[in-house]
Amino acid sequence: MNDLDSSIETREKGFDRKVKRVEGAELEHLERMARWLDDLIRIPFLNIRIGLDPILGAVPWLGDTATAVFSIYLIGSAIFYSVPKIIILRMAVNVGLDYLLGIIPFVGDATDFFIKSNRWNMNLLRRYARERRKPGLSEYFFVGGVIAALVLLIVGGVALVLYSLKTVGNLW
């Protein structure tokens, strides 16, 4: 396939068909958000790019919680591009893994340099995005359930951190 071709060959349920590739400004705001969170600054001599995620992650649990909320927006946007449900689940696992490792002191700070869930999710979105369309009710329920599970994960992480701080405070 050449670079000028704006369609993707797919095989679904035994039928070959072409799906229009989503390009241009339609995904540009999501790309910009992923760049800000994961790839904004290049560290000289190491050839590593970091964004606001590891910088905000330096603020214990609060920074990771804030960046996870932005990541949920990226997952919610995938519904409008006909991304398959299994890919949306994969995107949620990326965010959940990033968040759970991120709230662990010191470990989370180190992993933020290597786990780039927003970049990974943006790559998945670009790879599997089809024509932009209005999703059906079942798709809204599915993505709503995935987002609700991530929100519960975040709330559970915050509760665990607060409980840990309270317990440590009682020891002193």
pLDDT digits (tens, 9 = 90+) for 11-35: 444 444 444 455 556 688 889 989 9
CA geometry: angle 122, 160, 66, nearest 5 deg: 35
- Residue pair 74/121 in contact (Cβ under 8 Å)? The answer is yes
Which long-range CB contacts under 8 A does 60-67 form with residues at least 24 apart? Answer: 60/105, 60/161, 61/103, 61/157, 61/158, 61/161, 63/102, 64/98, 64/99, 64/102, 64/103, 64/108, 64/157, 65/99, 65/103, 65/154, 65/157, 65/158, 67/37, 67/98, 67/102, 67/118
- Of 3-12, 85-94, 108-117, 131-140, the range with the highest mean pLDDT is 85-94
120 has pLDDT over 80? yes
Nearest partner of 63 among 166, 134, 161, 143, judged by Cα: 161
Angle at the Cα of 53 from the Cα atoms of 49 and 54, rounded to 5 degrees: 70
pLDDT in tens, 52-72: 888 888 887 788 888 888 899
